[in-house]
């Protein structure tokens, strides 16, 4: 936050320009005339800034002091919406850009409830529970869970937000999803609207590139383990009762060995790293004829094999 010596005429924001405001904040060419008390009440950072900054230097055009912020105008709008119209914080659903602004601005200006509310929603998608992740990722490329909808590719921005907010919880899964992006996107980042680019820092890119071959090896191990059909028939007194099931297991094994149709992001290469993705679609498609007991066995095996990887995720990604 700085005080300008000279600023050009500002474009007045249409929603947050109050005639009785007592400070103008600006970013680029846009200005918001708002109330110091509203910012100070929620944000220790603004409170301290206003306390040490003299209230003289009134800009005659606006009738109050002007403060330049370095934040993206979209983030400022979303911050003001949260502070002035707090009910939006409890809105049932929010898009990723809204949640990202809460975390970014909440962390920067020390508005803890804003940051934590955003993190809770992010962490419901990039979660620490594999079964929840199966639900979150049910309709790719959209991910949705508690009060948030985001796109698969928002994983890069999520890693950066977790770094900014200094939290570990969303990090392993968000970084795992980064590994399944096409390499160009992984290296260059994602361009959002109005010139904002989200890119991983070099250390995190290296972590992803190092993890990918490990995921490929583990994926092959899972395929081999699930395709070993004898494992499902252990313990049956009479295998002959499950002759239908044996044929279905073989069809499923062939489908699993043939691999996934493609990655979620449409990149035919990306699927080979997506080791956590369930084989349930192949099981359902080829599993006609399985008895209920055999079906349960192979569904459980799919979860069990993926769980082994899930538990190692932070280590595989070089996060601990």
Nearer to Zn ion, 81 or 295 (CB): 295
**102 contacts 149 by C-beta, under 8 angstroms:** no
Nearer to Zn ion, 92 or 243 (CB): 243
Nearer to Zn ion, 70 or 292 (CB): 292
Nearer to Zn ion, 288 or 291 (CB): 291
Q: In angstroms, what is the minimal distance from the CB of 180 to Zn ion?
A: 34
Nearer to Zn ion, 120 or 280 (CB): 280
Q: Does position 251 bind Zn ion by CB under 5 A?
A: no
The enclosing H or E element of 30 equals: strand 30-34
Q: Which residue has the tokens 């060419």?
A: 29
Q: Does position 67 bind Zn ion by CB under 5 A?
A: no
Q: In angstroms, what is the minimal distance from the CB of 303 to Zn ion?
A: 18
Longest dimension (CA), the chain: 92
Token output for 87: 């009910």
Q: Does position 291 bind Zn ion by CB under 5 A?
A: yes
Token output for 285: 């498609």
Q: In angstroms, what is the minimal distance from the CB of 302 to Zn ion?
A: 16
The enclosing H or E element of 168 equals: none
Nearer to Zn ion, 150 or 294 (CB): 294
Determine the Cα–Cα distance for residues 300 and 210; give it in Å rounded to an integer: 30
121: left (phi over 0), alpha (psi -120 to 50) or beta: alpha
Q: In angstroms, what is the minimal distance from the CB of 290 to Zn ion?
A: 6
Q: At what angle do helices 112-125 and 155-164 cross, to 10 degrees?
A: 140
Q: Does position 283 bind Zn ion by CB under 5 A?
A: no
CA 79 distance to own-chain centroid: 20
Question: Helix, strand, or coil here: 68?
Answer: strand
Binds Zn ion by CB under 5 A, chosen from 162, 245, 275, 317: 245
Q: In angstroms, what is the minimal distance from the CB of 131 to Zn ion?
A: 24
Q: At what angle do helices 155-164 and 171-179 cross, to 10 degrees?
A: 150
Q: Does position 297 bind Zn ion by CB under 5 A?
A: no
Taking residues 183 to 222 in sequence order and writing x for each that binds Zn ion by CB under 5 A, - otherwise, the string is: ----------------------------------------
Query: By CB under 5 A, which span of 47-55, 149-157, 202-210, 235-243 interacts with Zn ion?
Result: 235-243
Binds Zn ion by CB under 5 A, chosen from 242, 260, 297, 306: 242
Determine the Cα–Cα distance for residues 137 and 183; give it in Å rounded to an integer: 21
Nearer to Zn ion, 178 or 245 (CB): 245
By CB atoms closer than 10 A (0-12, 13-18, 19+), residue 67 is: buried
Binding site for Zn ion (CB under 5 A): 242, 245, 291, 294
């Amino acid at each position: 936050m700085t005080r300008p010596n000279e600023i050009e005429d500002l474009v007045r924001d249409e929603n947050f320009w109050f005639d009785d405001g007592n400070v103008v904040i600006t970013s680029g060419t846009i200005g918001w005339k708002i109330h110091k008390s509203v910012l100070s009440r929620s944000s220790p950072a603004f409170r301290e800034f206003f306390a040490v900054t003299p209230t003289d230097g009134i800009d005659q055009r606006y009738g109050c002091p002007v403060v330049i912020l370095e934040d993206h105008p979209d983030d400022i709008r979303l911050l003001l919406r949260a502070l002035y119209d707090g009910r939006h914080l409890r809105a049932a659903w929010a898009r990723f850009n809204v949640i990202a602004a809460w975390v970014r601005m909440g962390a920067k200006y020390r508005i803890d409830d804003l940051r934590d509310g955003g993190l809770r929603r992010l962490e419901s998608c990039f979660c620490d529970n594999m079964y929840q992740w199966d639900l979150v990722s049910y309709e790719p490329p959209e991910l949705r869970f508690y009060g948030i909808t985001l796109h698969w590719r928002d994983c890069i921005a999520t890693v950066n937000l977790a770094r900014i907010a200094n939290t570990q919880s969303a990090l392993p899964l968000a970084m795992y999803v980064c590994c399944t992006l096409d390499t160009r996107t992984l290296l260059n980042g994602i361009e959002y609207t109005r010139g904002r680019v989200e890119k991983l820092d070099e250390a995190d890119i290296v972590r992803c590139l190092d993890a990918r071959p490990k995921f490929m090896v583990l994926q092959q191990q899972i395929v081999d383990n699930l395709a070993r059909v004898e494992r499902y028939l252990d313990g049956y007194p009479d295998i002959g009762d499950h002759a239908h099931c044996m044929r279905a297991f073989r069809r499923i094994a062939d489908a699993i060995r043939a691999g996934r149709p493609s990655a979620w992001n449409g990149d035919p290469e990306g699927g080979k790293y997506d080791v956590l993705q369930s084989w349930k679609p192949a099981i359902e498609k080829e599993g006609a004829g399985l008895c209920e007991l055999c079906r349960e066995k192979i569904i459980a095996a799919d979860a069990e094999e993926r769980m082994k990887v899930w538990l190692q995720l932070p280590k595989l990604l070089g996060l601990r």
